[in-house]
Amino acid sequence: MKLGIDIMGGDFAPRTNVEGAIKALAELPESTRIVLIGDAEKAKEILSEHNIDESLFDFVNTTQVVEMGEHPTRALKQKPDSSIAIGFQLLQKGEINSFGSAGNSGAILVGAMFSIRPVLGVYRPCIASIVPKPDGKQAIILDVGVVADCKPDVLYQFAVLGAIYAEFVFGIKNPRVGLLNIGAEKEKGNLLTQASYQLMDGTTDFNFVGNVEGRDIYGGGVNADVIVCDGFTGNVVLKQAEAFYKLMATRGILDDYFKRFNYENYGATPVLGVNGNVLLGHGISSSKAIKNMLLLSQDLVEAKLPQKIKKAFK
Burial 54-92 (b: 16+ CB within 10 A, else e): eeebbbbebebbbebebebeebbeebeebbbbbbbbbbb
* Rounded-to-integer distance, Cα 38 and Cα 34, Å: 13
Percentage of the chain beyond pLDDT 90 is 84
CB 284 within 8 A of CB 94: no
Four-way CATH pick for 123-263: 2.70.70.10, 3.40.50.2020, 3.40.50.620, 3.40.718.10 = 3.40.718.10
Average pLDDT, the chain: 94
pLDDT tens for each residue of 232-248: 999 999 999 999 899 99
How far is residue 276's CA from residue 204's CA, in Å, rounded to a whole number?
26
Res 136: pLDDT = 87
What pLDDT was estimated at residue 296? 95
pTM for the predicted model, two decimal places: 0.91
Closest CA to 240 of 144, 166, 139, 103: 144
Convert the pLDDT of each residue in 9-45 to its tens digit.
Answer: 999 999 999 999 999 999 999 899 999 999 999 999 9
Per-residue pLDDT band at 314 (split at 50, 70, 90): confident
Confidence of residue 69 (pLDDT cuts 50, 70, 90): confident
**CATH architecture of structural domain 1-122+273-314:** 3-Layer(aba) Sandwich (3.40)
Question: What are the tens digits of pLDDT across the range 115-162?
Answer: 999 999 999 999 999 999 988 889 999 999 999 999 999 999 999 999
| Domain boundaries of the chain, sorted by first residue | 1-122+273-314, 123-263
pLDDT of residue 201: 95
Helices 305-313 and 287-303 cross at an angle (nearest 10°) of: 50
Note the pLDDT tens digit of each residue in 173-213.
999 999 999 998 888 999 999 999 999 999 999 999 999 99
Q: Pick the closest to residue 30 from 52, 61, 59, 57 (CA basis).
A: 57
Q: Fold match between 1-122+273-314 and 123-263?
A: yes
Q: What digits encode the pLDDT tens for the residues 282-312?
A: 988 999 999 999 999 999 999 999 999 999 9
pLDDT band, very low/low/confident/very high, at 223 (cuts 50, 70, 90): confident
- What's the pLDDT at 221? 72
CB 296 within 8 A of CB 268: yes
Give the separation between CA 14 and CA 57, rounded to whole angstroms.
15
Q: Does residue 220 surpass a pLDDT of 80?
A: no
Residue 111 confidence (pLDDT): 93
**Cα–Cα distance, 117 to 314 (Å, whole number):** 15
DSSP string, 183-239: SSSTT-S-HHHHHHHHHHTT-SSSEEEEEE-GGGTTSSSS--SEEE--HHHHHHHHH
Average pLDDT over residues 54-80: 93
For residue 254, what pLDDT is reported?
85
